[in-house]
Amino acid sequence: MDPTQLTIAESIRAIAAGSLSPVALTEAYLDRIAALDGELHSYVLVLRDQALKSAQTPARGVLHGIPIGLKDIYKTRGIRTTAGSRRYLDHIPDEDAETWVRLRNAGAILLGKNETHEFAIGGPDFTLPFAPARNPWNTAHYPAGSSSGSAVAVAAGLCAGAMGSDTGGSIRGPAAYCGIVGLKPTYGRVSRRGVFPLSYTLDHCGPLTRTVEDCAIMMQALAGYDPQDPASADVPVPDYRAALATRLDGLTVGVIRQFHERDAVADFGADSAPSVAYTAAFDAACRTLESLGARLVDIKLSPLVDYLDANRLIMLAEAYALHEKDFRERPQDFGHHMFARLALGAFLTAADYVEAMRQRRELAVEFARAIEGCDAVVSANSTGPAPRIDAIPTYSTFERASYTGPYNLTGSPALSVPIGFEDGLPLAFQMVGKPFDEAGVMRVGHAFEQATDFHRQRPAVAASLPGRG
Partner 1 sequence: MTDELISRERFSALVEEAGLKLTAEQFDELRQGYRFVQRMQRIVRRPRDRAAEPAHIFVHPRAEVR
Interface residues with partner 1 (CB under 8 A) are 187-188, 201, 233, 235-236, 267-269, 305-306, 309-310, 312-313, 316, 327-328, 331, 339-341, 343-344, 346-348, 351-352, 354-362, 364, 394-395, 398-399, 411, 434-437, 440
Q: 3-class DSSP state for residue 376? A: strand
- Cis peptide upstream of residue 146 (ω within 30 degrees of 0): yes
Q: Which is nearer to partner 1, 13 or 361 (CB)?
A: 361
Q: Which is nearer to partner 1, 198 or 344 (CB)?
A: 344
Q: Which helix (H) or strand (E) holds 265?
A: helix 264-268
Burial degree of 44 (CB within 10 A; 0-12, 13-18, 19+): buried
Beta strands in 381-454 (DSSP E): 414-422, 425-432
Burial degree of 414 (CB within 10 A; 0-12, 13-18, 19+): buried
Distance from C-alpha of 418 to C-alpha of 455, rounded to nearest angstrom = 6
Distance from C-alpha of 214 to C-alpha of 417, rounded to nearest angstrom = 13
Distance from C-alpha of 109 to C-alpha of 103, rounded to nearest angstrom = 8
CB of 279 closer than 8 Å to CB of 261: yes
Q: 3-class DSSP state for residue 144? A: coil
Q: Tell me which DSSP letter residue 259 carries.
A: I
Which residues are the active-site residues?
71, 146, 170
Q: Which is nearer to partner 1, 50 or 302 (CB)?
A: 302
Q: What is the DSSP string of 167-195?
A: SSSTTHHHHHHHTSEEEE--TTTB--TTB
Handedness of CA 425, 426, 427, 432 (dihedral sign): negative
Distance from C-alpha of 410 to C-alpha of 436, rounded to nearest angstrom = 12
CB of residue 199 vs partner 1: minimum separation in angstroms? 13
Q: Which is nearer to partner 1, 75 or 337 (CB)?
A: 337
Distance from C-alpha of 434 to C-alpha of 354, rounded to nearest angstrom = 25
Distance from C-alpha of 37 to C-alpha of 208, rounded to nearest angstrom = 18
Question: Of 391, 457, 464, which Cα lies nearest the Cα of 424?
Answer: 457
467: Cβ–Cβ under 8 A, 6 or more apart, which residues? Answer: none
CB of 22 closer than 8 Å to CB of 160: no
Q: Which is nearer to partner 1, 353 or 421 (CB)?
A: 353
CB of residue 379 vs partner 1: minimum separation in angstroms? 20
Q: Which helix (H) or strand (E) holds 68?
A: strand 67-71
